[in-house]
């Protein structure tokens, strides 16, 4: 009996030493993001999780779903890599290309609806939520003209992610 109590006492002391980590807070009082590491082989899961999430938002807004387009994916991937190389999130490529130029270069024949970009350490769904919080990026996701979507990213060694979402008609 003494052994059982001794074991329980040691276990209780061990558990009491465990404490949930306190998140670091930014100047706005919100928790700072933690590094989201994308593992090899997760690409398809992430892309379809984003597609499902975008289509859920579109359905809730009474809009038709979008489908993945390999050409728009290529344009998004090209720009995500280029933003990482430039080390700045903006809509122009290092060669001066615009989103319209990039979708044309990959052979996409539809119209560009819009491009959303992000530089972050957060997940794709946290990034989508941030895009939905801003009127201009929300407008791209919920455009009634959108029928196709491309989504890609580049992750740097330090964990920084460069996301690019491209919508086309």
Tens digits of per-residue pLDDT, 8-60?
Answer: 445 555 544 555 556 677 788 877 666 777 777 888 899 999 999 999 999 99
Residue 38's closest CA among 114, 123, 119, 163? 123
Using alpha carbons only, give the angle 117, 81, 153 rounded to the nearest 5 degrees: 55
**130 domain-assigned:** yes
Most confident of 22-26, 69-73, 94-98: 69-73
**156 domain-assigned:** yes
Q: Which residues pair with 68 in a beta bridge?
A: 149
Q: Is 27 exposed, middle or buried (0-12, 13-18, 19+ CB in 10 A)?
A: exposed
Domain range enclosing 116: 49-168
How far from the centroid of its chain's Cα atoms is residue 9's Cα? 45
**37 domain-assigned:** no
Query: SS3 helix, strand, coil % of the chain, rounded to 5?
Result: 45, 15, 40
Cβ atoms within 10 A of the Cβ of 11, count? 10
CATH number at residue 57: 3.40.33.10
CA distance 95 to 97: 6
- Rounded to an integer, the average pLDDT of 62-87 is 96
Return the C-alpha torsion angle 122, 126, 132, 136, nearest 10. Answer: 10
Q: How many domains does the chain have?
A: 1
**13 domain-assigned:** no
**76 domain-assigned:** yes
**134 domain-assigned:** yes
Per-residue model confidence (pLDDT) at position 14: 53
Element (H, E) at 148: strand 148-155
**78 domain-assigned:** yes
Residues 155 and 74 sit within 8 Å (Cβ to Cβ): no
User: In this structure, what are the phi and psi dihedrals at residue 37, rounded to the nearest 5 degrees?
Assistant: -95, 125
Residue 46's closest CA among 167, 160, 152? 152
**121 domain-assigned:** yes
pTM flag (> 0.85): no
Per-residue model confidence (pLDDT) at position 29: 81
> Which of 19-23, 67-71, 73-77, 107-111 shows the lowest mean pLDDT across its residues?
19-23
b vs e for 30-67, b when ≥16 Cβ sit within 10 Å of the residue's Cβ? Answer: eeeeeebebeeeeeeebbebbbebbbebbeeeebeebe
């Amino acid at each position: 009996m003494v052994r059982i109590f001794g074991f329980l006492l040691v276990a209780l002391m061990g558990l009491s030493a465990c404490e949930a980590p306190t998140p670091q807070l930014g100047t706005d009082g919100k928790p700072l993001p933690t590094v989201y590491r994308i593992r090899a082989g997760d690409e398809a899961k992430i892309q379809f999780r984003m597609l499902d999430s975008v289509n859920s938002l579109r359905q809730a807004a009474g809009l038709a779903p979008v489908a993945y387009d390999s050409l728009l994916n290529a344009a998004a991937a090209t720009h995500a890599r280029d933003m990482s190389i430039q080390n700045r999130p903006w809509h122009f490529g290092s060669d001066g290309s615009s989103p319209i130029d990039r979708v044309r270069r990959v052979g996409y024949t539809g119209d560009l609806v819009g491009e959303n970009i992000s530089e972050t350490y957060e997940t794709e769904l946290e990034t989508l939520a941030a895009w939905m919080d801003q009127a201009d990026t929300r407008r791209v996701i919920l455009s009634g003209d959108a029928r196709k979507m491309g989504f890609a990213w580049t992750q740097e060694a330090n964990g920084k992610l460069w996301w690019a979402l491209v919508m086309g008609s």
